[in-house]
Amino acid sequence: MDKLLTFRTSLFSVQIHPGSLKINCLLILGTLVIAVLSLTTGSLWINPLEVITEIADPNKGQHTFVIETLRLPRVVLSFLVGGALAVSGLILQNLIRNPLASPDIIGVTSGASAAAVFFLSFLSGTLGTEWLPVAAIIGATITSLVIYLLAWRQGMSPIRLVLIGIGLAAGLGALTTFMIVLSPIATSMMAYVWLTGTVYGTDWQDVKALLPWILVLLPAAFLMARTINVQELGDQVAINLGVPLQQARFLLLAISVALAGAAVAYAGAIGFVGLIAPHIARQLVNRSFAALAPASMLIGGSLVIVADTIGRTAFLPLDVPAGVFVSAVGAPFFIYLLYRQHR
Amino acid sequence: MMYPRLPDQNRSPFCATASNVLGWCLVLVVSLFHQVTAASERTVEHSMGVSQISGTPTRVVTLFQGATDTAVALGVIPVGVVDSWVEKPTYKYLRKDLQGVSHVGQETQPNLEMIVGLQPDLIVASKRRHEKIYHHLSQIAPTIALETVFDFKETLSMMGLAMNLEQRATQLLRNWENRIDDFQTRIPRKLGSQWPLEVALLNFRADHARIYLKDSYAGSILNDLGFLRPSNHPEGQWVVKLTTKESIPAMNADVFFVFMTADDPAVARNYHLWTLHPLWKNLDAPQNQQVYQVDEVAWNMSGGIIGANLMLDQIYQHFDLSPGA
């Protein structure tokens, strides 16, 4: 076994596995390559060197508008959204101790979807679409709180959380469909695109709005690394080791909800990223949260970048929502996971 | 500065005053001044703000069906259009004019990079579809945005102003109004006491049916022509969705005009099922064999002045009136 490097302060401790560190560095490199390749492709191909010089020095060259205004914010937002969903999924899978957990099942996605569709159907006429993310975040928060309160019985057990989450998600799904049926066709078209998940038309405003969430929440998740690792060993062990279990669980859940809620608010209900990315990460790095979190984030981010790049290039001139391609990979992967669980 | 739409009408009170001649001179000078400035620079107020447009745009990109139709009507072939909803990729009635024109994707998510590549000097969008990307579009070229996608008269006058073809737009609108007047004088002679007819505009989808109301595209045209609607139709809306056959009685009227994508088997099947229902057979129009299928492109999809005229042609044909003035 490799030697672990341990950093410890009174608030925070982390063990770093050198092999995982190396793989994470490789993942960073891979993500950068994917991002640059994504920036080169589109309705016209731009030389990677030109892309890199353009980013290093925005020089008002002939492709400045396409790279700086159309492609770059989209790639950055894709990365942030994918990364946030992946870390959110990772936290949930560890917390609930179920490999099939993801932001979709604890009501974040369904709550945000219901709120977004409600907004599109009834409010977008009076308020501008810039309020859509706010509606989605409110929906995600309220739903998660309701699930948490309903699952609370002298403490919160993960299994009750899952069951109530699935129940409420089904109910909200029905409500969403109901609102789409009631709403005029123009808004139902927008609602379908939103429910698929898309980063189409992203501008720097969106990136600026999402970035603070990520910058606060990811370090917060990282600070909780040691309690996450211990919680995986079971409630009793965790309590015996001195983890304030309910408190830690609530905080982690809140971080997970906020990460997924913010991501979904800006990119719509992109499914499966939060499920797949942590699983791929577990194949690559060791099972400590400190190694898994960056790996999941990089993989989730790359996944959405790739999906969106395919979406906007494979069927030119069509610009297909990124969510379509994430689901195309995600659904078979989910079935594979179920299959492996049963064996 | 706002260019007055009807400069001489706005100022007509002048001519009633004692300084008659002076007034007219003023009007002349003012409108001449406007003509000159209009050629170089115009201000168009639209649903997403105000756009400054100079010169006569020649490279126009149209991002919804009605805008494409209207550009062709104004005599400007767009350099980029979006895919049609049926008869893909271009409605048959526009195919001849739009041969070889680039497509920039779908109305809901047009490909921004391709629009950049076309180097347009005017983009015509709709707030309903393109609110999110308006900011991007307006960085590519001056962009005007209609509130909806089906108000063909507003589309025509706004595009006329933006494209420096106001006279042509006014002419097209005047022709349209003349045709409406012509219909209104002929139809009572043809139908006698049956006029005004009470009609319902129905549309069948794969999983539901719709009643199109007064504020819809075809609905507003039927309104202008003088058709009546059943009193139970809601006001101020453009469509009612009927999701169960229990609501069939809400459709009732003397005459049904039905449009749908009939070559879609799911739609055809749904239409068949609804029309088999006993409630359908109780309605006035089916009982009197007054159910007519009409062309969905002209009646619903086109959203432009050419489409509107096609719809009117079909109404003339339907009532066996010789084409009007």
Q: State residue B58's pLDDT score.
A: 92
Identify any residues that bridge with B250 across adjacent strands, giving them in sequence order.
none
| Three-class DSSP category at B110 | strand
Average pLDDT of the residues in B68-79: 94
Contact A181 B208 (CB under 8 A): yes
Are residue B153 and residue B58 in the same domain, yes or no? Answer: yes
**Is pLDDT above 80 for A5?**
no
B259 shares a domain with B150 = no
- Residue A165 is given by DSSP the state H
Predicted confidence at residue A131, as pLDDT, reads 84
The range of the structural domain enclosing residue B30 comes to: 1-43
Q: Which residues, including other chains, have CB under 8 Å from residue B293's CB and lie 6 or more apart?
A: B258, B259, B260, B262
| Whether residues B55 and B149 fall in one domain | yes
A231 vs A131, higher pLDDT: A131
Band of the pLDDT at A153, cuts 50, 70, 90?
confident
**Which of B136, B140, B208 has the CB atom closest to A201's CB atom?**
B136
B-chain residues near A190 (CB < 8 A): 108
To the question of domain A18-342 being in CATH 1.10.3470.10, the answer is yes
Chain A interface mutation, best of B47, B65, B104, B111, highest count of A Cβ atoms under 10 Å: B111
Least confident range from A33-37, A199-203, B59-63: namely A199-203
Q: What percent of chain A has pLDDT over 70?
A: 96
pLDDT at residue A10 greater than cutoff 80: no
User: Looking at residue B64, what is its pLDDT?
Assistant: 94
CB A269 within 8 A of CB A196: yes
Query: Is pLDDT at A7 greater than 80 in this prediction?
Result: no
Exposed, middle or buried, A242 (CB in 10 Å: 0-12/13-18/19+)?
A: exposed
Of B285, B225, B299, B217, the C-alpha closest to B255 is B285
Q: Is the confidence at residue A18, as pLDDT, over 70?
A: yes
A247-267: average pLDDT = 87
Sequence letter at residue B217: Y
Most confident of A8-17, A218-227, A238-247, B17-26: A218-227
Inform me whether the C-beta atom of residue B205 falls under 8 Å from chain A C-beta atoms.
no
Q: How far is A184 from chain B (nearest CA, A)?
A: 7
pLDDT at A46 over 70: yes
Q: What is the mean pLDDT of chain A?
A: 84
pLDDT of the residue at B11 = 38
Q: What is the mean pLDDT of residues A150-171?
A: 83
Task: Supply the pTM of this predicted model.
Answer: 0.82
B208 touches chain A (CB under 8 A): yes
Instruction: Spell out the domain ranges in chain A.
Output: 18-342
Give residue-wise pLDDT tens across range A171-208.
998 998 888 877 766 677 778 888 888 888 888 888 99
Does residue B314 belong to any structural domain of this protein? Answer: no
Summarised one tens digit per residue, pLDDT across range B75-113 is 999 999 999 988 888 999 999 999 999 999 989 889 998
Domain count, chain B: 3
- Same structural domain for residues B107 and B35? no
The residues in A 66-125 lying below 8 A from B, measured between CB atoms, are: 66, 69-71
pLDDT band at B134 (very low <50, low <70, confident <90, very high): very high
Using the CB atoms, write b or e for A23-47: b if 16+ within 10 Å.
Answer: bbeebeeebeebbeebbbebbeebe
- Same domain, yes or no, for B19 and B75? no
Between residues B23 and A17, the one the model is more confident about: A17
Cα separation values, B79 from A182, B38, B84, B99, Å:
37, 23, 15, 11
Q: With bands split at pLDDT 50, 70 and 90, how would you rate the model's confidence at B308?
A: very high
Amino acid in position B134: Y
Contact A319 B109 (CB under 8 A): yes
- Between strands B239-242 and B209-212, the pairing is antiparallel
Q: How far is A49 from chain B (nearest CA, A)?
A: 20
pLDDT tens per residue across span B248-292: 888 888 999 999 988 888 999 999 999 999 998 888 888 888 889
Q: Is residue B313 part of a domain?
A: no
User: What is the pLDDT confidence band of residue B20, given thresholds at 50, 70 and 90?
Assistant: low
Taken as a whole, chain B contains a residue count of 325
Residue with the bigger pLDDT between B234 and A184: it is B234
Alpha helical stretches, state H, chain A: 18-40, 48-56, 64, 72-96, 108-118, 132-151, 158-182, 185-196, 204-223, 225-231, 235-240, 245-267, 273-284, 289-313, 322-342
Give yes or no: residues B140 and B251 share one domain.
Answer: no
Per-residue tokens: A232: 């995986």
Contact B112 A316 (CB under 8 A): no
Structure token digits, residue B180:
């409406």
pLDDT value of position A186: 65
The predicted structure's pLDDT at residue A78 = 94
Does B217 map to a domain?
yes
Residue B30: pLDDT band with limits 50, 70, 90: low
Tell me how far apart the alpha carbons of residues B279 and B284 are, in angstroms, rounded to a whole number.
Answer: 11
Collect all residues of chain A within an 8 Å Cβ-Cβ radius of residue B112: 70, 201, 319
| B164 lies in the same domain as B236 | no
Do residue B202 and residue B227 come from a single domain? yes
Sign of CA pseudo-dihedral A85, A87, A90, A92: negative
Residue A301 half-sphere exposure, CB side, CA atoms within 13 Å? 25
- Residue A309, pLDDT score: 92
**Which residues of B are less than 8 Å from A186 in CB distance?**
128-129, 148-149
How far is A317 from chain B, CA to nearest CA, in Å?
Answer: 5
Share of chain B above pLDDT 70, in %: 87
Say what the pLDDT of residue A45 is.
Answer: 85
Task: Kindly state the average pLDDT of the residues B33-61.
Answer: 79
Averaged pLDDT for residues A93-106: 80
pLDDT at B32 over 70: no
Q: What CATH number should be reported for the domain holding residue B274?
A: 3.40.50.1980
DSSP conformational letter for A242: T
